[in-house]
Amino acid sequence: MSAQTKDTDPKETVPPMDPVAFARNMATVASQSQKLVGDFLARQAGKTGNQPFDPLNISGAFFAVMKSFAADPGKLMEAQFSLFKDYMSLWSRTTKRMMGEDVAPVVVPEKGDRRFRAKEWEENQVFDFIKQSYLLTSNWMQRTVHEADGMDPHMQRRADFYAKQFADAIAPTNFALTNPEVLKETFNTNGDNLVRGLNNLLEDLDRGGGNLSIRQTTDNFVVGKDIATTPGKVVFRNELLELIQYSPTTAEQYEIPLLIFPPWINKFYILDLQPKNSFVKWATEQGYTVFIVSWVNPDASLADKTFEDYMRKGIFAALDAVEAATGSSQVNAIGYCIAGTLLSASLAYSAATGEYKDRVKSATFFAAQTDFTEAGDLQVFIDDEQLGAMEQQMRDAGGVLEGSKMATTFNMLRANDLIWNFVVSNYLMGKEAVPFDLLYWNSDTTRMPIALHMFYLRQCYRDNALAEAQMKLGGKQLDLSKVKTPVYFQAAKEDHIAPAISVFKGAKLFGGPVTYMMAGSGHIAGVVNAPAAGKYQHWINDQKLPETLDEWQADAVEHPGSWWPAWNIWLSERSGAIVPARVPGEGKLPALADAPGTYVLTKAGTLNGKK
């Protein structure tokens, strides 16, 4: 009997299932699963009593929802009846379709939802019913939670976020028996995909030390060979950073150097992935003397390092080193993400004290926030209960937050793309990871010192102290309105970490000339968008910042492609005269090592270079 059906491409033949091979693979899966469950229970039994039962305080969010429903049971009954009517409509239309009628669906996936891209979700009546039933339930659950009355706005946002997390987790695509692609692969391979997938799962658990560390890409990238390859030298090093000066690619350069501070929650080479998309390489080609900070991957010995330490031994130490290397007392600085917040605070400190005043001629901020009232979904992780649980976890880990914890948080913000997509591919389809430079960078995590990280979360996300001129460094109160340095804010339209509206509100706090620009895409692709790629777009509005982002957008002009050239025009006007190109190591600072240096090579799973 042929296994080919009328829907099958005639060029493709599906081999018949081998019952013996299938039974053997299922026995292997059962045996491995038993071991997996046993290992999990053993790990749970061995956990210390210090670990909180609910570190994300999910129960608090849903208790608030249930309290709202209890206060108005009629509203809940009305919502349940609405879902019942939708189900009846789905049953009716499904029956008509089974009888041969052409009927419109009750509900369809949102545009861009790639989970249901397989043709079976449309063509097969059973899978179409499963899909629509899930979408009805998922949408109903999220809508009902969102419409709960009388909830605190912060608690409401948290409830909405976790309702979506739950809805994403129970999608039929995440289960073997309700995913047509997985069923097809299981039939075609006699279940070998499930064996491979279980082996992938066990390897990821082993790699995570008992915690699931989902492999998003291959591990065969070599930093300095495959990525982070722009030539340069480490010219300065202290306990918190290595400073890299890049080799010139032009005979002459602008007099004022460009000093880049990347976020310490990831590694610097997001701005130097490969030559085709390297911001660093592109900047050298525009005639800038480019320096970049490579932050240390801290261990327990640096647990007490503070936000002020990162200002003094980070921002200020780098300024001094650049002056020694080039003779220039001024720099044009860039702060990306959290490093932009630090750069902003440092400028406010200089304005308040006179220390390092006028050393930064201009400041550019990539996806950086100074006002956190609109800080996006990351705010759901910030309340006193969660912060207390995190602080305890960091103390138990020797005073650092392991990089895997931070990675999990960011992955949850795009769970379908960064979690469930890989669960299906790696564990249900049994596929091997493929090389992807950006995902390799995403998985090359760093640790956070407890003093630094808790100050940042409490002062910025919880208290919004920098925006409200309540933050203090060195005993001095910081007021961004006193900063007169020209600033350029880059935001991204689809940024889920530093939303465009949040960046806009922060830009309005500065007291000097402010330029705001919005790029297409998100937190990474909105920044790392080389002109040669010809991707996305950006919006420019040269007028003084209006009151709201909507007003700014109404008068903004859309331009195709990368925003880098437009920013280059802005920066070149603030970069001084043209001077002979500087070669790393030929100034007062000798070359200590080749780029990308040594700090970037320390993995989050190692301490002091050792397992």
Q: pLDDT: is 448 or 206 the higher one?
A: 448
- What per-residue confidence (pLDDT) applies to 30? 77
What is the DSSP annotation of 371-397? --TT-GGGGGG-SHHHHHHHHHHHHHT
Percent of all residues in the chain with a pLDDT value above 90, rounded to a whole number: 66
State the Cα–Cα distance between residues 391 and 221, nearest whole angstrom: 33
- What per-residue confidence (pLDDT) applies to 7? 45
Give yes or no for residue 5 having a pLDDT over 50.
Answer: no
State the Cα–Cα distance between residues 450 and 471, nearest whole angstrom: 18
State the Cα–Cα distance between residues 236 and 258, nearest whole angstrom: 16
Confirm if 284 and 246 have CB atoms less than 8 A apart: yes
Average pLDDT over residues 451-459: 96
Would you kindly state where each structural domain of the chain is located, as residue ranges? 56-174, 232-601
Task: Tell me which of 192-206, 538-552, 559-573 is least confident.
Answer: 192-206
* pLDDT tens profile 378-397: 888 888 888 998 899 899 88
- What per-residue confidence (pLDDT) applies to 531? 96
- What per-residue confidence (pLDDT) applies to 414? 85
- What per-residue confidence (pLDDT) applies to 23? 75
State the Cα–Cα distance between residues 339 and 335, nearest whole angstrom: 5
- What per-residue confidence (pLDDT) applies to 49? 52
Residue 173's nearest CA partner among 120, 115, 134, 128 is 115
φ and ψ of 487, to 5 deg: -130, 150
The vertex-334 CA angle with 332 and 340, nearest 5°, equals 135
- What per-residue confidence (pLDDT) applies to 282? 98
Give yes or no for residue 233 having a pLDDT over 60.
Answer: yes
Give the sign of the dihedral formed by CA 358, CA 575, CA 346, CA 348: positive
- H or E segment and range at residue 39: helix 19-45
Percent of all residues in the chain with a pLDDT value above 70, rounded to a whole number: 92
Give the sign of the dihedral formed by CA 580, CA 584, CA 585, CA 587: positive
Give yes or no for residue 447 having a pLDDT over 50.
Answer: yes
Confirm if 237 and 311 have CB atoms less than 8 A apart: no
Which neighbouring-strand residues pair with 490? 366, 517
Give yes or no for residue 2 having a pLDDT over 60.
Answer: no
Average pLDDT over residues 524-549: 95
Q: pLDDT: is 263 or 62 the higher one?
A: 263
- What per-residue confidence (pLDDT) applies to 497? 93
The total of other beta-carbon atoms located within 10 Å of residue 451's CB is: 19
Q: pLDDT: is 107 or 48 the higher one?
A: 107
- What per-residue confidence (pLDDT) applies to 409? 83
Confirm if 360 and 484 have CB atoms less than 8 A apart: no
Task: Give me the numbers of helices (H) and strands (E) for the chain, helices first please.
Answer: 21, 17
- What per-residue confidence (pLDDT) applies to 11? 45
Give yes or no for residue 212 having a pLDDT over 70.
Answer: yes
- Superfamily for domain range 232-601: Alpha/Beta hydrolase fold, catalytic domain (3.40.50.1820)
Confirm if 428 and 176 have CB atoms less than 8 A apart: yes
Confirm if 368 and 335 have CB atoms less than 8 A apart: yes
- What per-residue confidence (pLDDT) applies to 50? 60
Residue 178 burial class via C-beta count within 10 angstroms: exposed 0-12, middle 13-18, buried 19 and up: middle
Average pLDDT over residues 452-474: 96
Average pLDDT over residues 96-120: 91
Give yes or no for residue 36 having a pLDDT over 90.
Answer: no
State the Cα–Cα distance between residues 78 and 58, nearest whole angstrom: 25
Residues in the chain: 611
Give yes or no for residue 48 having a pLDDT over 60.
Answer: no
- What per-residue confidence (pLDDT) applies to 606? 46
Confirm if 271 and 279 have CB atoms less than 8 A apart: yes
* pLDDT tens profile 68-92: 878 878 887 888 888 889 889 999 9
- What per-residue confidence (pLDDT) applies to 206? 82
Measured CA distances, 280 to 258, 288, 293, 364, 565 (Å): 10, 10, 12, 15, 14
* pLDDT tens profile 464-518: 999 999 999 999 999 999 999 999 999 999 999 999 999 999 999 999 999 999 9
Give yes or no for residue 130 having a pLDDT over 80.
Answer: yes
Measured CA distances, 299 to 16, 391, 440, 450 (Å): 55, 16, 22, 10
* pLDDT tens profile 146-164: 888 888 888 888 889 999 9
What single-letter amino acid sits at 170?
Answer: I
Per-residue H/E/C for 408-422: HHHHHHCHHHHHHHH
Q: pLDDT: is 336 or 409 the higher one?
A: 336
State the Cα–Cα distance between residues 357 and 345, nearest whole angstrom: 13
Give yes or no for residue 376 having a pLDDT over 70.
Answer: yes
State the Cα–Cα distance between residues 506 and 348, nearest whole angstrom: 13
Give yes or no for residue 403 having a pLDDT over 90.
Answer: no
Give yes or no for residue 4 having a pLDDT over 50.
Answer: no
The vertex-243 CA angle with 514 and 484, nearest 5°, equals 20
Residue 449's nearest CA partner among 303, 564, 237 is 303
Q: What is the overall mean pLDDT for the chain? A: 89
Give yes or no for residue 249 having a pLDDT over 90.
Answer: yes
Out of 241, 337, 400, 454, which one is annotated catalytic? 337
Give yes or no for residue 412 having a pLDDT over 90.
Answer: no
Give yes or no for residue 366 having a pLDDT over 50.
Answer: yes
Task: Tell me which of 14-18, 166-170, 184-188, 433-437 is least confident.
Answer: 14-18
Instruction: Tell me whether residue 460 is one of the annotated catalytic residues.
Output: no
Residue 523's nearest CA partner among 421, 410, 446, 401 is 410
